[in-house]
Amino acid sequence: MFKAIFTNSFGILASRILGFIRDLMTASVLGANIYSDIFFIAFKLPNLFRRIFAEGAFTQAFIPAYARSKQKSLFSVHIFVVFLSAILIISLLVNLLPALATKAIAIGFDEQTLSLAAPFVAINFWYLPLIFAVTFLSTLLQYKHHFATSAFSTALLNISLILAIHFSQDKAQSDIVYYMSFGVVVGGILQLFVHILAIYNLGLSKMLLGGFKHLRVKSKIIKKETRKFRQQFFPAVWGNSTAQVSAFLDTWLASLLASGAISYLYYSNRIFQLPLALFAIATSIALFPSIAKFLKKDDESGALRFMEKAFWFLAFLLTASTIGGYIMAHEITWLLFERGAFSQEDTLNTTAVLQMYMIGLLPFGLQKLFSLWLYAKEMQLRAAKIATFSLVTNIVLSLALISPLGAAGLALASTVSGFAGFIMTIQAFGAKKFFDILSSKKSLYLIAGSVVFALLLMIIKDFTRVYI
């Protein structure tokens, strides 16, 4: 288990380090203004779908169905063709009507800003079909317990964007956004290429080619399997996408605020996403195939042993990250972003948003772990109901807090909705099972360690205040 977790974590860490370099360069050349807002808006929708597909939803619906299928080649190819066809149609519509798509993402943009942003939205959207193909191939690799390619491949997107920024840094800001938008598409192509190589090296290409060859003739054989997959998939997507939809909602509402608000949310969310991806997402990706196999064999005790190990692993790491991220939010933002066009005021505004996000790190991370139980037991509809309640909570609080707190209020609303989703997920998992895990001496170590760590960080913060 831990080997797979560490493989995912190292791959994500490499990608996120490159991602932060990308963000440093973006903040330096664009700062937090209308052009940075335009790029983040343009990349928001395909990136939203990337997170929904690549960080669990597709995998958690596909792997149990794929494991049960008696015609794996036909089943997998059928799912790929149906979904890719739908995504290509959506991508074509966005490119035909980019202004309408942009308006849907950023309702607060005026007509002039919409006309500036629309071409970039159209370009960036071609990343979506590419990343779906990547996710599909990645799921097949995960089933074979091969995690390295998917974990490290996101780095290619960041490398592509870094090169785009490097070659355009002396150009006008609108040209920089063009370079970055095409960099996104090139990054998607590179990700797809390395996944195709991995599929070929593991001998899965023959299985896929066989599925394509016989799909038209034998598609009726898998009709029942594909119908059941569709019934499970859409609740899985909805149940797995609360955090992403909440972030999208934050951006949508932030477009109603002053220029720069979208960028403050983006930069702070990037920092928040590092420990979430590095620990919670990496663990859930590595753990899910094993949990699904245990529960398929009705070995609940074996699945719970895996869950308990993963819980304490995440509890310590996410608690430390939450404390560190909240107390040192200003120092982290200053160190990463305050240079070039990114001002001291931008640092203060981003810090306020980051602190609100960090409060929700532990519930968001642990929810990802315990939701594995629901998906492995094919309780996708229950997960979807939890997501719906969490999202409604976020919408109500966002509307209530945006006026008094601005962008920080949107982040706080997202955090509270994360707590709501976590509590309901624990209820679905089983409160007794959860408290059995919690009733360990490790709880005392966690509390004591948290207090000591917080005191240490406050001392360090007080010392560094002289220099920042």
Which DSSP string corresponds to 85-104?
HHHHHHHHHHHHSHHHHHHH
- Residue with the larger pLDDT of the pair 338 and 60: 338
- Residue with the larger pLDDT of the pair 247 and 374: 374
Helices (H), 202-281: 205-218, 223-240, 242-254, 261-275
* Polymer length of the chain: 468
- Residue with the larger pLDDT of the pair 468 and 304: 304
Q: Which two tokens stand for residue 393?
A: 């909570």
pLDDT at 214 over 80: no
Other CB atoms within a 10 A radius of the CB of residue 328 amount to 20
Q: According to the model, what pLDDT value does residue 55 have?
A: 52
The amino acid occupying position 127 is: Y
> By mean pLDDT, which of 240-254, 282-296, 327-341 is the weakest?
240-254
> By mean pLDDT, which of 43-57, 152-166, 292-306 is the weakest?
43-57
Q: What share of the chain is helix, strand, coil (3-state, %, to 5)?
A: 90, 0, 10
Name every residue whose Cβ is closer than 8 Å to that of residue 411 and which is 6 or more positions away in sequence. 250, 265, 268, 269, 353, 354, 356, 357
- Residue with the larger pLDDT of the pair 231 and 129: 129
User: Which pLDDT band, with edges at 50, 70 and 90, does 126 fall under?
Assistant: very high
Q: According to the model, what pLDDT value does residue 4 have?
A: 65
Q: According to the model, what pLDDT value does residue 375 have?
A: 81
DSSP type of residue 340? T
pLDDT at 25 over 70: yes
- Residue with the larger pLDDT of the pair 19 and 180: 180
Q: Which two tokens stand for residue 348?
A: 């203060």
Label residue 206 exposed, middle or buried (CB < 10 Å: 0-12, 13-18, 19+).
exposed
pLDDT at 387 over 60: yes
pLDDT at 419 over 90: yes
pLDDT at 51 over 70: no
Q: What is the mean pLDDT of the chain?
A: 84
Name every residue whose Cβ is closer than 8 Å to that of residue 374 and which is 6 or more positions away in sequence. 239, 380, 382, 383, 425, 428, 429
Nearest to 355 by CA among 292, 411, 437, 288: 411
Cα distance between the two ends of the chain: 42
Q: What is the mean pLDDT of residues 198-209?
A: 88
Q: According to the model, what pLDDT value does residue 393 have?
A: 93
Q: According to the model, what pLDDT value does residue 94 have?
A: 87
Nearest to 373 by CA among 198, 242, 239: 239
Q: Which two tokens stand for residue 365?
A: 């991370």
User: Which pLDDT band, with edges at 50, 70 and 90, does 240 fall under?
Assistant: low
Nearest to 382 by CA among 339, 418, 428: 428
Q: According to the model, what pLDDT value does residue 432 have?
A: 92
**Cα Rg of the chain (Å, integer):** 22
- Residue with the larger pLDDT of the pair 160 and 256: 160
Label residue 85 exposed, middle or buried (CB < 10 Å: 0-12, 13-18, 19+).
exposed
Give residue-wise pLDDT tens across range 246-281.
777 777 788 788 777 888 888 898 899 889 888 888
Q: Is 33 left (phi over 0), alpha (psi -120 to 50) or beta?
A: beta
User: Which pLDDT band, with edges at 50, 70 and 90, does 112 fall under?
Assistant: confident
DSSP type of residue 221? G
173-201 helix and 34-52 helix, angle to the nearest 10 degrees: 20
Q: According to the model, what pLDDT value does residue 219 have?
A: 67
Give residue-wise pLDDT tens across range 329-343.
999 999 888 877 788
- Residue with the larger pLDDT of the pair 427 and 261: 427
> By mean pLDDT, which of 303-312, 379-388, 441-450 is the weakest?
379-388
User: Which pLDDT band, with edges at 50, 70 and 90, does 242 fall under?
Assistant: low
Query: By the 8 A CB rule, do 189 and 196 touch?
Result: no
Q: Which two tokens stand for residue 31?
A: 């700062």
User: Which pLDDT band, with edges at 50, 70 and 90, does 217 fall under?
Assistant: low
Q: Which two tokens stand for residue 117?
A: 């942003």
User: What is the percentage of the chain residues whose pLDDT exceeds 90?
Assistant: 30
Other CB atoms within a 10 A radius of the CB of residue 251 amount to 23
One-character DSSP codes across 7-25: HHHHHHHHHHHHHHHHHHH
Q: What is the mean pLDDT of residues 364-388?
A: 86
pLDDT at 284 over 90: no
CA distance 448 to 443: 9
Measured CA to CA in angstroms, residue 38 lies from 18, 21, 124, 245 at distances of 22, 20, 11, 19
DSSP type of residue 441? T
